Amino acid sequence: MDKGDDVIDMGRQISIYLKDLDETRFFGCELGKLALPGDVICLNGDLGAGKTTLTQAIAQGLQVPDSEYVTSPSFAVLHQYPGRIPLYHMDFYRLHDASEILDLGLDEYFSLPGLTVIEWPTRAAGILPDHRLELTLENPGDDSRIIRCACPPGWKARLAALFSQFPGLLLESTPGR
């Protein structure tokens, strides 16, 4: 995972294979269940890769009420949802760089007692917290997804427990870059 100046050593990169939408939803829901106050999950991927779909499933795992439909905050930049812990869903697609994020005060959410999920996080290079979970979603052209995870120490044990329960999700584990 080459992020230029924003590279941090996250130990190992894990690749996950999700064969269909149901597995993508399952994985997202499990991430939501594992999330702790102050966590940040960054979602990288092309348009249509499934970032918002994964966030919707994360919201289920956070017990966001069904009456709160999770949508892409592409125009609003931020949507906030109640749940077991609050979900702060951000989309930086329309922002140019970290200075705009700082001007809007969105970086303050990174330390609040909820889960911050960021789509298009490369726009925030240099200001993202080191403890973030970086996920890169790849669409091989069907309903399946490959997710590359760069895991900081705080997420490593939580994901290891998930993969010990559901080893079929794990595609490979390689040294981090």
**CA 145 to CA 136: how far, in whole Å?**
10
Which pLDDT tens digit goes with each residue over 61-90? 999 999 998 988 878 899 999 999 999 999
Tally of domains in the chain = 1
**CA 88 to CA 118: how far, in whole Å?**
8
User: Which CATH number fits the domain that encloses residue 39?
Assistant: 3.40.50.300
- The answer to whether residue 149 is domain-embedded is yes
- The answer to whether residue 174 is domain-embedded is no
- The answer to whether residue 4 is domain-embedded is no
- The answer to whether residue 58 is domain-embedded is yes
CB neighbour burial string for 122-151, b if at least 16 within 10 angstroms, e if fewer? ebbeebbbeebbbbbbbeeeeeebebbbbb
Range of the domain at 89: 13-165
% of the chain surpassing 90 pLDDT: 64
Q: Is 101 exposed, middle or buried (0-12, 13-18, 19+ CB in 10 A)?
A: buried
- The answer to whether residue 2 is domain-embedded is no
Contact, 74 vs 47, CB < 8 A? no
What is the pLDDT, as a whole number, of residue 126?
A: 93
Which pLDDT tens digit goes with each residue over 4-35? 333 344 456 888 999 999 999 999 999 999 99
- The answer to whether residue 91 is domain-embedded is yes
